[in-house]
Structure 1
């Protein structure tokens, strides 16, 4: 066999809680359903593309929250593609623990789980050797790379869930370098753990991370999906060549937007400006909007009212008020009360400070302090 076709995905996080949506239980439930549907999308894509394997590189599910019914749903999907091998490694969110579904569930016959006890599979029918270990617990800080014995007549693939070419100190999970991975003799290194797509890590032509197939938070803007890959071998069993493409699978997108409301003095003005700003954003989106600028002293935007109006149009919208009151500090400094005393002391500090960066922080502190005195809180 001179060709191996496979899908590479990771970090689906089935049954995650979506705490970023707050107390909105319906939308949290909808998002959990989205994650199940993305698995269905991946299985459908694998079937349509006639791949030989699906590689799932960790964090398939949330160990603390996963329900058996969700695992049943996913396993039935895997049963529907009996001729496609599904190979998984446990990640830090779904470790190979004694009470995990990896160890205590009857998976479909075409499902293979890589673990410290079983870190290698050889598939003679498709000329593929797949290596990987995964996490035994959620805190592995040493590279989880198994013993590797290259078979030059086979396609050799390493699956890894961890941190590549980054140094976050002693708490970094499963740290490795792309150069060491590229020197391992693998034809393809399938990564997971970080949720943003990274193609050809280190420029070696072998190390790839697809990110999460469905975005999971406001720090995951942009497109999300899977890698569809094909490895080719010449007639002499060498000169292996890789072709790959990124296929979008996400149902929703996250956006972080800002709106300057300086000069606005009604909630309706803000609402109309926001409607215009999100006019071209897909209705299925999740949007975080930060209100900025200066407001009149007696105007405090009704965040809850604006959110409720917009959430009738978009799947989920969250507003943050980062505005500052447009105070006349010169006038306030002559007031006899607490506000006047606070402003006089701050203005003196600002005047005496020589460092421009510190002066800027003092000015921001003045704005925040006045806002706290005016509203009783800082949003």
Structure 2
């Protein structure tokens, strides 16, 4: 059987809210999802597997209707989905009452449920979240599988608060394929058998790297699955070196030059490192005004001449502090404490 596997679509999210491009990013989530649906129809895949968090929060009725219409356009593909920790089955959730298209199978129970598809000789197992956190290893409780059928598990989790699971235990359980969701980085956890889909598109600046969908084919003899990236957006974390003589104007010119070589779909988080002058207050607000900059992190150290400061303020607090810190083991913690301590003392002196 042939399938497409996605998760963490997060429809309704507004990535980079407040930024000039946030409305486009919100629409990109819907457009990307629609593109995957269209591709599933063109390829006539047997199953579309959605491993949780189709929505970013409790879905609105109009949103479920939009999604259901898209599913109706691929009647030859069976859509199987579960609710994740973001779109969990709330007591008033529309998931409880909505009537899906005939080709859609929503596994809404909080206990493991099995759906058998005789024509394709497939059994699909899964359970939905009924609250935001589930700390129990739910997937360890699945009993014997149907040995003569292709056994697939829809799994959403993988950390301590969201259904922790062991890759080895899932392999030992005998699943032919485990379609995972929740972690936003795509990863093949066990070759062609257990796959973390990753977010279909990145949701925030920390969702770095490529995102997209997985497509594969499996039988009782084994299978193969491949990742297909969709590049509507890609977040890039980029370290940028600062030097002691650098000014804000120079830094802005340097960052602007970097951005001039960026791909249109790239959005940056700049991580400023190196040594800066004690007099320089980096204007991060101005940097955030640059196009396609979502975040700025300053991780610089101040370029103090400790020997000169110690000599100048020999019998004062600054001099005594430097002497005491330099007498300690010169590890990373001591070095940071020296920089931050001297900076605090010098700032205090400047304001006296």
Fold conserved between structures, TM > 0.5: yes
Q: Compute the RMSD of aligned alpha carbons.
A: 2.8
Farther off after superposition, 52-61 or 113-122: 113-122
* 1:36 equivalent in alignment to 2:13: no
Cα offsets for 1:287-327 (capped at 9, x unmatched): 1112222333443333223332x21xx3x443233334433
1:28 is displaced (CA, Å) by 3.2
- Secondary structure, counterpart of 1:102 in structure 2: helix
Q: Quick one: structure 1 residues 303 and 356, their matched pair in 2 at CA, closer, same or farther if it must change by over 3 Å?
A: closer
Q: Quick one: structure 1 residues 307 and 174, their matched pair in 2 at CA, closer, same or farther if it must change by over 3 Å?
A: closer
Q: Distance in 2 between matches of 1:51 and 1:8?
A: 11
Q: Distance in 2 between matches of 1:357 and 1:266?
A: 27
**Matches for 1:274-289 after TM superposition, within 5 Å:** 274-289=255-270
Cα offsets for 1:323-359 (capped at 9, x unmatched): 34433344444667xxx94522421321332463443
**Do 2:312 and 2:319's aligned partners in 1 also have CA atoms closer than 8 Å?**
no
Q: Quick one: structure 1 residues 111 and 375, their matched pair in 2 at CA, closer, same or farther if it must change by over 3 Å?
A: farther
2:225 paired residue number: 244
2:157 to 159, 162, 169: 162
1:262 to 232, 237, 243: 243
1:81 paired residue number: 74
**Do 2:318 and 2:342's aligned partners in 1 also have CA atoms closer than 8 Å?**
no
2:177 paired residue number: 188
Q: Quick one: structure 1 residues 341 and 83, their matched pair in 2 at CA, closer, same or farther if it must change by over 3 Å?
A: farther
Q: How many residues align?
A: 349
1:130 paired residue number: 124
Cα offsets for 1:25-55 (capped at 9, x unmatched): 6533332222111211211221222201100
Q: Distance in 1 between matches of 2:255 and 2:20?
A: 24
* 1:350 equivalent in alignment to 2:337: no
TM-score where L is the length of structure 1: 0.82
1:327 to 304, 309, 312: 304
Show structure 2 runs of 5+ residues with no match: none
Q: Distance in 2 between matches of 1:69 and 1:264?
A: 56
- Secondary structure, counterpart of 1:175 in structure 2: coil
Farther off after superposition, 269-278 or 133-142: 269-278
1:371 is displaced (CA, Å) by 7.5
- Secondary structure, counterpart of 1:278 in structure 2: helix
* 1:90 equivalent in alignment to 2:67: no
Q: Quick one: structure 1 residues 268 and 375, their matched pair in 2 at CA, closer, same or farther if it must change by over 3 Å?
A: farther
Q: Quick one: structure 1 residues 360 and 263, their matched pair in 2 at CA, closer, same or farther if it must change by over 3 Å?
A: closer
* 1:99 equivalent in alignment to 2:92: yes
* 1:119 equivalent in alignment to 2:105: no
1:364 paired residue number: 339
TM-score where L is the length of structure 2: 0.88
Q: Distance in 2 between matches of 1:9 and 1:206?
A: 15
Q: Distance in 2 between matches of 1:262 and 1:355?
A: 23
Q: Distance in 2 between matches of 1:206 and 1:347?
A: 58
Q: Distance in 2 between matches of 1:102 and 1:372?
A: 57
* 1:216 equivalent in alignment to 2:197: no
**Do 1:215 and 1:250's aligned partners in 2 also have CA atoms closer than 8 Å?**
no
Cα offsets for 1:76-129 (capped at 9, x unmatched): 211111221110011111222322232132322221111236711112232221
1:108 paired residue number: 101
1:286 is displaced (CA, Å) by 1.7
* 1:175 equivalent in alignment to 2:152: no
**Do 2:44 and 2:76's aligned partners in 1 also have CA atoms closer than 8 Å?**
no
- Secondary structure, counterpart of 1:199 in structure 2: strand
Q: Quick one: structure 1 residues 251 and 129, their matched pair in 2 at CA, closer, same or farther if it must change by over 3 Å?
A: same
* 1:318 equivalent in alignment to 2:295: yes
**Do 1:286 and 1:317's aligned partners in 2 also have CA atoms closer than 8 Å?**
yes
Q: Distance in 1 between matches of 2:22 and 2:235?
A: 14
